[in-house]
Amino acid sequence: MTEFKTRKGNLITVDGDPDLLALLTLDRIQTIGDRFDTDPRIASVSIYATTNPHANETFLRATAPAGCLIAINQSDLFDPETQDWATAASHRGLWHDWWLTTANDIRKAPVIAEPHAIDLKELGDPSGSHFNALKETPIDTNNLTLTIDVTWLGPHETGAQVLTTAAIPAIADQPTIASIRLVGLSELPGYAQHVTDHPKVTLQPNSQEALHIQTDLIWYPNQIDQRVDISQSRKLGKRVITTYLDLIAYDIGKYHGDENSWAAYRATQRTIALSVDGITTISADVAKRLYQEVPRLDTKRIQPIPLGLDHITTQTIKEKPQGLKPSIRPFILVLGNDFQHKNRDFAIDVWQQVLELGINVDLVLAGLHVKSSSSKEQESIKLKKHTNLRGEATTLGHVSSAERAWLLENAAAVLYPSSAEGFGFVPYEAAILGTPSTFTNFGPLKEISQLTTTPTSWNATEYATDLTHLLTDPPFAQQRVSELREVIGARTWNQFAQEFTEFATKIATMPTVPTSAVTSSTAANELAAVLSSKAWRATAPIRKLKSRSRSKS
């Protein structure tokens, strides 16, 4: 140990390897002494080296001493000679400072005290002083490494999953992408396993192992909710990008367990939007809605990137669904899960009007039954009342990708009356396979398709009229298909990948978003998880009873 006095007379003891005391130059002694003189509560100043040449040389408050040399302020409140002197000082409310330096001689010196676990954790926490002081190492935009969260790839493939499975190989093909790591699942579902055939793409099932390797960027292709721990994002990637598919769950309360869980979900979505470095949306319509809900967003960090449309081709494998009964009549296809916003019950009304116009045609409803916000009951009531012998209705559950393709190719027309979309794949997938479709000219469907001849509202008569033209007027039907195919030709997954990579490169060159600190807290996600849990919903009657009793007292 060696000792010196500060300009104000404070006695300082320096602890460290005797061979390293030569590092304690006169300039450093003066700097450390002046630091002690700024506040009597400073119990120690550690010289702590950082390997980042871009870090600020500054003093940081820490929970414990760390580094190659530790200067201790002599005090009657603790004994510097004891082993637990630092803890004793902390218990009395005294402070431990680090002098963060990039000096080569300090960086090469062996440390006598490793950082406390809390200090290590806060080195990667954007809300803390350590993270801010260390700054970020510049990213090589010619060799970007990317982590992609694939948590949303569940057992069934829908439009939300297509975004991930179609985008990954196309992004991997981009020359500036060096590697892609997939996290969030221990095993990919069958429909997604092809993505790891690309030599740049690997699945890392051990999430804890993944946390030790930080790539340049992490991308969440699907909206982040309580299934994803956003607090880990900064450990996985130096910059964080997420994609907003839509704000349907944000707008529709019935998607959630109760009003409290809906409110928590909405708060989480706003928090995440402000916390990430970049946001892509699948249409300008979604970006507009996001701006409306989160007006503090930095517009330079948001980019609408429409999805690709060439994931289905005429060569796609097709398989007739086993649950489809033989019929001599053509059929109208309604494809989509039975969320109320898909309006499958409304589609039944349209089909009934088509039958009344004298057209013989069946109806096929295909898609998963959902637990919340389902139109299943309304559909059942209407189908039980069906008496028109010109057509029969068949309800299929989930269909595989091959069955989906068969239905789209063999349908006489596709009826797609959805009233809430972020993009809307179905009309384009049908057109690829030569089948015309009808849908309301709104939001993203209007924006991307640029059609002017589809229904302007959810009016059953208007829909029935358009659908009748598609079924009885081949040139009209072919024109609808041709117009949508022109859009498909302009929107490929390769183009999506190019635009995404350009945006990712832009975000990589920008500093971390100032509001990134909110991703370091799991409070919003934990709240959302609690409020949507079975236990919370099960105890709702008890909470209501307590609320009523409090209001009476």
Assign 531 a pLDDT band (cuts: 50, 70, 90): very low
Q: Which residues contact 448 (CB under 8 A, 6 or more apart)?
A: 283, 306, 423, 424, 487, 491
pLDDT at 340 over 70: yes
Between 13-17, 157-161, 482-486, the lowest mean confidence (pLDDT) is in 157-161
* pLDDT-above-70 percentage for the chain: 91
pLDDT at 550 over 80: no
Assign 135 a pLDDT band (cuts: 50, 70, 90): low
Between 54-58, 235-239, 471-475, 522-526, the lowest mean confidence (pLDDT) is in 522-526
* Domains defined along the chain, listed by start: 2-134 (no CATH), 144-308+508-532 (3.40.50.2000), 331-490 (3.40.50.2000)
Which pLDDT score is estimated for 136? 62
* Mean pLDDT score across all residues of the chain: 88
Question: Is residue 385 exposed (0-12), middle (13-18) or buried (19+ Cβ within 10 Å)?
Answer: exposed
Query: What's the gap between Cα 107 and its chain centre?
Result: 37
- DSSP one-letter string for 220-279: ESS---TTS-GGGHHHHEEEEEEEE--SHHHH-GGGSSSHHHHHHHHHHHHHHHHHSSEE
The whole-model pTM stands at 0.77
| pLDDT tens digit sequence for 414-472 | 999 999 999 999 999 999 999 999 999 999 999 999 999 999 999 999 999 999 999 99
Q: Residue 531 and residue 358: Cα distance in Å, rounded?
A: 51
Candidates 171, 167, 172, 271; CA nearest to 221 is 167
Which pLDDT score is estimated for 474? 97
| pLDDT tens digit sequence for 291-316 | 999 999 999 999 999 999 988 888 88
Q: Which residues contact 245 (CB under 8 A, 6 or more apart)?
A: 160, 163, 222, 223, 281, 282, 286, 422, 423
Q: Which residues contact 50 (CB under 8 A, 6 or more apart)?
A: 100, 101, 102, 107, 134
Element (H, E) at 117: helix 117-123
For helices 259-275 and 284-293, the axis angle rounded to 10 degrees is 110
Q: Residue 237 and residue 276: Cα distance in Å, rounded?
A: 11
Assign 408 a pLDDT band (cuts: 50, 70, 90): very high
Which pLDDT score is estimated for 409? 96
Segment 142-151 shows an average pLDDT of: 95
pLDDT at 548 over 80: no
